[in-house]
Chain A
């Protein structure tokens, strides 16, 4: 080996090590920031994490104030969001990937869906205020809020669904078509089962984003002080399902946090930190569910 070449290799390895060191440094920085954030939340909020926090309505007294209406609101809003965004988004993704003819119109639609994913959430809030709250007279309700967040995350679900579907090799589809399968049979027997892990992950990432949204909900008129719960969706007497909750005013966890943090009394800041911990826990458990489901679905599909 001549000297020049070994020198060159040495230099390349040197660059590689610089890159590696930089990567590790940035990784440590971001992990430290996350850790510090968590530590700070726990330090100031842990003392407020108690049953009272979960079971009390907001109050003028920080030690009596709780997040009951906020977490119930978050749950109900997310229920509406999931029920609308998941079927719509997955169906749209399947249509665009499997059924839509590849022409200029679909190309235009595809570009716009990707663009929608980048629209600031407050813009969705403004649109929802105009359409859902006023035009369709849905009011400042759980329904309006759920639909607004559904619109917000729809593009994310569509895009991740399409990516999951696109990962299925063409040879598998051709194998099924060659046996005489129809498009729907190929979709339900192959495309959906093999991509369900990826689709689910996308759905949960989208829901985790929706759960922390504040701006669009403030825009459509979420309240910050709610001392009652919406009617229960299920009831003991027939017809067992109740839709009254859909029209109820609402608040959600991030808004409750925002309200507390903007008060001068530092005792309320502890409440905000505790609510933040709860929100973080919900998000983390959503992610845990995503990982669990992905592993389960991957086990069922046997590549």
Chain B
């Protein structure tokens, strides 16, 4: 077991990443990644394109399992049970039921608004429609979308604007009460106002769920994240409190990146 670093002294740990390596075929995309994800906090993954942020994020719900020739080594231990989610014995389906994901581009299903949010419950075998209705409403409220769509739940999800669609996707993953939500550059396709709303939501959500967010936008990391991981060439260059990373980073490289010298 990895020792708890001092910065985590007051935090409850949700996940421990222990010596994680990841390979696309023979190419190593992640090298010796070690860090902690504190519970009910926001952790941002930043770094230049191709540094492995998204690859790392997708390890948490084993999305890589969908494609051939990808393998992991090392462990990601999910607390409090200490289950290694990279273990082949852990069913990725079961894992994804506990860990939600919001993608870079809004990807609502070509179904109604209601059915989009209800889908997670339906695939879990939920049959009681009144229960599903309640869940759909509360998820849409949590995603600050309820007031905008309550009169047109049966309309197509594609009739919503881009920002609304992204909040719908958040509601979709919230409806099943996940422990962790993974955000993969959730605002990169949105305008500043829609972006601000998503950021507000992330801020509100962290009272209930643990959040990991990949972002290209350093200001965004500064605004929403409690902790920030700076990645470079597949390695975790620095991991610390966000304020520390942005004001007084230990590594020269981190400083250069956050001040915009490269990236």
On A, residues with C-beta under 8 Å from B are 101-102, 169, 171-182, 185, 189-190, 194, 301-303
B157, closest chain A residue (CB): A302
> SS class of chain A's interface: helix, strand, loop or mixed?
helix
Contact B63–A180 (Cβ < 8 Å)? no
Chain B residue numbers with a CB within 8 Å of A172 are 107, 109-110
Within 8 Å by CB of A176, from B100, B105, B109, lies B109
Contact B103–A302 (Cβ < 8 Å)? no
Contact A178–B63 (Cβ < 8 Å)? yes
Give the complex CA separation of A182 and B66 in angstroms: 11
Contact B96–A180 (Cβ < 8 Å)? yes
Give the complex CA separation of A232 and B112 in angstroms: 45
Chain A residue numbers with a CB within 8 Å of B17 are none
Give the complex CA separation of A136 and B97 in angstroms: 50
CB within 8 Å for A177 and B68 given contacts A194-B110, A303-B110: no
On B, residues with C-beta under 8 Å from A are 61, 63, 66, 68, 93-94, 96-97, 100-101, 103, 105, 107-112, 119-120, 122-124, 156-159, 169, 172-173, 176
Other than the known A172-B107, A179-B120, A182-B123, what 18 A-B pairs have Cβ atoms closer than 8 Å? A102-B68, A171-B103, A172-B109, A174-B103, A175-B103, A175-B107, A175-B108, A175-B109, A176-B119, A178-B101, A179-B100, A179-B123, A179-B173, A180-B97, A189-B119, A194-B110, A302-B156, A302-B159
Contact A190–B109 (Cβ < 8 Å)? yes
Chain A residue numbers with a CB within 8 Å of B108 are 175
Give the complex CA separation of A178 and B107 in angstroms: 11
Contact B110–A180 (Cβ < 8 Å)? no
Chain B residue numbers with a CB within 8 Å of A101 are 68
CB within 8 Å for A302 and B110 given contacts A178-B96, A179-B96, A179-B172: yes
Contact A174–B107 (Cβ < 8 Å)? yes
Chain A residue numbers with a CB within 8 Å of B172 are 175, 179
Chain A residue numbers with a CB within 8 Å of B63 are 174, 177-178
Within 8 Å by CB of B107, from A171, A181, A185, A194, lies A171
Tell me, rounded to whole Å, the shortest Cβ–Cβ distance linking B88 to chain A.
17
Chain A residue numbers with a CB within 8 Å of B110 are 172, 194, 301-303
Chain A residue numbers with a CB within 8 Å of B66 are 173-174, 177
Chain A residue numbers with a CB within 8 Å of B157 are 302
Within 8 Å by CB of A182, from B93, B101, B107, lies B93
Give the complex CA separation of A181 and B93 in angstroms: 7
B182, closest chain A residue (CB): A178
What are the nearest 8 A-B pairs in CB distance? Answer: A302-B156, A180-B97, A178-B101, A171-B107, A180-B96, A175-B107, A179-B120, A303-B110
Contact A185–B123 (Cβ < 8 Å)? yes
A298, closest chain B residue (CB): B110
A175, closest chain B residue (CB): B107
Chain A residue numbers with a CB within 8 Å of B97 are 179-180
Within 8 Å by CB of B119, from A173, A174, A179, A182, lies A179
Tell me, rounded to whole Å, the shortest Cβ–Cβ distance linking A99 to chain B.
12
Tell me, rounded to whole Å, the shortest Cβ–Cβ distance linking A157 to chain B.
24
Chain A residue numbers with a CB within 8 Å of B103 are 171, 174-175, 178
Give the complex CA separation of A100 and B47 in angstroms: 36
Contact B169–A175 (Cβ < 8 Å)? yes
Contact B111–A177 (Cβ < 8 Å)? no
Chain B residue numbers with a CB within 8 Å of A180 are 93-94, 96-97, 120, 123-124, 176
B172, closest chain A residue (CB): A179
Tell me, rounded to whole Å, the shortest Cβ–Cβ distance linking A103 to chain B.
8
Give the complex CA separation of A302 and B120 in angstroms: 19
Tell me, rounded to whole Å, the shortest Cβ–Cβ distance linking A244 to chain B.
44
Give the complex CA separation of A101 and B69 in angstroms: 11
Contact B96–A302 (Cβ < 8 Å)? no
Contact B173–A302 (Cβ < 8 Å)? no
Give the complex CA separation of A175 and B186 in angstroms: 13
Give the complex CA separation of A181 and B157 in angstroms: 19
Give the complex CA separation of A302 and B109 in angstroms: 8
Chain A residue numbers with a CB within 8 Å of B96 are 177-180
Chain B residue numbers with a CB within 8 Å of A301 are 110-111
A178, closest chain B residue (CB): B101
Chain B residue numbers with a CB within 8 Å of A185 are 123
Tell me, rounded to whole Å, the shortest Cβ–Cβ distance linking A64 to chain B.
56
* Most A-side CB within 10 Å, residue of B94, B96, B105: B96
Tell me, rounded to whole Å, the shortest Cβ–Cβ distance linking A221 to chain B.
47
Chain B residue numbers with a CB within 8 Å of A182 are 93, 123
Contact A303–B158 (Cβ < 8 Å)? yes
Give the complex CA separation of A169 and B213 in angstroms: 23
B61, closest chain A residue (CB): A178
Tell me, rounded to whole Å, the shortest Cβ–Cβ distance linking B130 to chain A.
21
A sample of 5 cross-chain residue pairs with beta-carbon separation below 8 angstroms, ordered by A number, consists of A171-B107, A174-B66, A178-B63, A178-B96, A180-B97
Chain B residue numbers with a CB within 8 Å of A102 are 68
Give the complex CA separation of A245 and B109 in angstroms: 45
Give the complex CA separation of A303 and B111 in angstroms: 8
